[in-house]
Chains A and B, each alone.
Chain A
Amino acid sequence: MNKNNYPSASLPYKIKGDKLFFTIMLSLCGIYIFLLIGMVLADFRFIDIKSIKNFFNDPNIISSLKLSIASCSITTVLCLWVAIPIGYILSRYEFRGKSILDSILDIPIMLPPLVIGICLLFFFSSPFVKYFEEIFINIFKGSFIANWFGWEPQYWTFNPAFTKLSVIIAQFMVACAFAVRIMKSTFDEMNPRKEEVALTLGCSKGQSFWLVALPNAKRGIITAATLAWARSLGEFGPILIFAGTTRMKTEVLSTSVYLEFSVGNIAMATTISMAMIMTAIFINIIMRQFGGIKLSHD
C-alpha cells in the first residue's frame, strides 16, 4: 500500500471558508425575524393615544381582558392537570392501543380550530350528553340535598355553550393537546433510572412519581404551562363557534379584535392586538423568572 499510487493523496487539502454556510443560515433566519418584527411594528401605524385611552376606558374591552386572563389561567391549570399524567403514562408504559391513543390525542392539533368549535357544539347538544343530563337531574330532583339548598335541578343543563365555561372548554380542547406533547417529550427525555432507584428505596409508584419524576420534569411543566397559556390567549375559532362573542359575557381579546375589525374600528383592533402581544410577552417573562429557565424546551 503505497501513497504514491494515489495521486489525489499528494494534493494539498484545503476547505472552503464557512462564510457561505453562515450567510445562508443567517439569511433564512433574517427573513423570518424581519417578517416577525415587521408585522408587529406595522400595527403601530394605526395606534394613537385616543385608541389607547379608549382601550382602558371601554368596559367591554376591560371585561374581555379580564375574561381572557382568567380563562387562560384556569385553562393552563386544567391542561397541566391532564397533560402531566397522560404524558407520563404514554412515556413510561407500554399497553395495547397505545398508538391509537397517541393518534387520538393529536386530533385537536390536526383539526382546523373552527371545526373543534363545531364538534364541541354538536357534542354537548347530542342525545348522549342529554341522556346523562337527565340521569343527573333525576337523581337530584326532589332530593333532600336539592331541597336543603333550594336547588332547582329541572333547570340544570350539561350544555355549557355560550357561557364563560364554554370559553374555557374551547381553549382547553386545543391547548391541552400541545401540553400533552410537551409533557410526553419531557418524560421521554428523562432517564427512568432515578424513578426505578426510588422504587428500590421504598417508594410506591405514586411516591416515585411525586418525589422524583415530577420535580425532574419542572422545566417541561413550565414550558407546557407557557405554551398552554399562549395558545389559549390566541384561540379564536372554537370560541367564536362554541362560546359566541357576547359582549361583557363571553368576549375575549381574540374575539374583541374580530368584533372591532368587523365594524371598521382598525385603531381599536390593533390596540387590542398590541395588548395581546404585551400580555403574552409579560406572561412569558414571568414564567421564565418563575422557573429560572430558558423558554425553549431544551
Chain B
Amino acid sequence: MKSTKRKLGIRPCTWVYLFLITFTFVTSQVGQMGLSGLTVSLLVLMLALIKGQLVGYYFMGLGRVKGLWHWPVFIWLFIPGILIGTAFYLTAARV
C-alpha cells in the first residue's frame, strides 16, 4: 500500500473512491436518461455489485483478511445479485 502511494502519489483508497464516484455518475445518468430494459438493468446491477465489492474489499478491509472472513460481503452481494437479476430476467421474459 505504501509503495503504491509513493509511486503514484495517491492512496489506493482514493483510486477506489474515484472509481465509486465515476460508477455512480454512470448509474445516475442511466436513470436520468430513462433508459430501461433487461440489458440496461443488468448492467446497472453489475456496476452496483462491483461498487459493493470495492467497498467490502478496500474500505471495510476484507481484502487483507484471510480465510472465512474474506468472503461475507462477496457472498452477500452474490446472493441478492442473483435473485434481483433472476427477477428482472423473468419479468422481461414474461413481456
Interaction A to B: no
Chain B residues with CB under 8 Å of chain A are none
Chain A residues with CB under 8 Å of chain B are none
